[in-house]
Amino acid sequence: MAAAHLIVESKALFATLRKVLPHLRRRKLLEAVLSFDGEHLLVEFQGAQYGARASGDWKGTVRVSLAMLEAIARTYDSEPLAFEYRDGKLRIGSTAVAARWQDLPARFLELSIDSPEGDLLAICMAAPEARVIASGLGPRFEDAKRRLGQRLDAVATALAPYGDFREPIEKLVREELERRGREG
């Protein structure tokens, strides 16, 4: 694999990360996923996505420690900044940290803009995360998962007089969505 590389307009992105990251709990245990949609470097963690304009060649995702990304965001305040992945390391400017690369599959997920939310959930739950991200469905999928969680909470609350059914209902719904997604 040739080294993945981007030139990123990182100043605003890093300013945002410096504000957001200190408020997260257990960030030392969390990972951030970095991807490129053709115009922006996307940084995703805990269901949120942050982006910065970028250009280059980056056909995959990189997983890096959120604590390390926070340290890098505190270090750099200039742009543009070079991002490169090679030999198990993510290099940002002159700093290198351990990271994991995942190639993107050649085939993207296809879903019409007005597809029902159940179809979106089914397709995305049955696909590898890299395909969901590469297809540009990451933000829609995260929103749909959040709404599904709210609906499951409402059902569990309605059934609370009869017992705690949140976990078995969620398992049933997830299994059915994944089955539908695998079957197309």
List, for residues 26-60, the tens digit of each pLDDT value.
655 678 888 888 888 888 887 778 888 889 888 88
Q: Are residues 88 and 124 in the same domain?
A: no
Q: Are residues 9 and 86 in the same domain?
A: yes
Q: Are residues 91 and 128 in the same domain?
A: no
In a domain, 160, yes or no: yes
Q: Are residues 150 and 99 in the same domain?
A: no
Q: Are residues 93 and 18 in the same domain?
A: yes
CB 69 within 8 A of CB 30: no
Q: Are residues 122 and 36 in the same domain?
A: no
Q: Are residues 92 and 121 in the same domain?
A: no
Q: Mean pLDDT for the chain?
A: 83
Show the domain range for 50.
Answer: 4-103
User: Can the peptide bond before residue 128 be classed as cis, meaning omega within 30 degrees of 0?
Assistant: no
Domain closes at, from 58, 79, 103: 103
Residue listed under structure tokens 């805990």: 46
What is residue 106's predicted lDDT score, i.e. its pLDDT?
Answer: 45
**If pLDDT is split at 50, 70 and 90, which confidence band does 85 have?**
very high
Q: How many domains does the chain have?
A: 2
For 62-80, what is each residue's pLDDT tens digit? 888 888 888 888 888 777 8
**If pLDDT is split at 50, 70 and 90, which confidence band does 84 have?**
very high
What is the value of pTM for the model shown?
0.57
For 95-141, what is each residue's pLDDT tens digit? 899 998 887 654 556 666 677 888 888 888 887 776 777 677 778 88
Q: Are residues 96 and 20 in the same domain?
A: yes
Q: Does residue 171 surpass a pLDDT of 90? A: yes
Rounded CA-CA distance 174/164 in Å is 17
Q: Does residue 182 surpass a pLDDT of 90? A: no
Can you point out the beta strands (E) in 12-165? 31-36, 40-45, 48-57, 60-65, 81-86, 89-92, 95-103
In a domain, 111, yes or no: no
Question: Which CATH number is 53's domain given?
Answer: 3.10.150.10
Percent of the chain with pLDDT over 70: 89
Of 1 and 36, the one with more pLDDT:
36
Q: Are residues 95 and 30 in the same domain?
A: yes
Domain closes at, from 68, 103, 138: 103
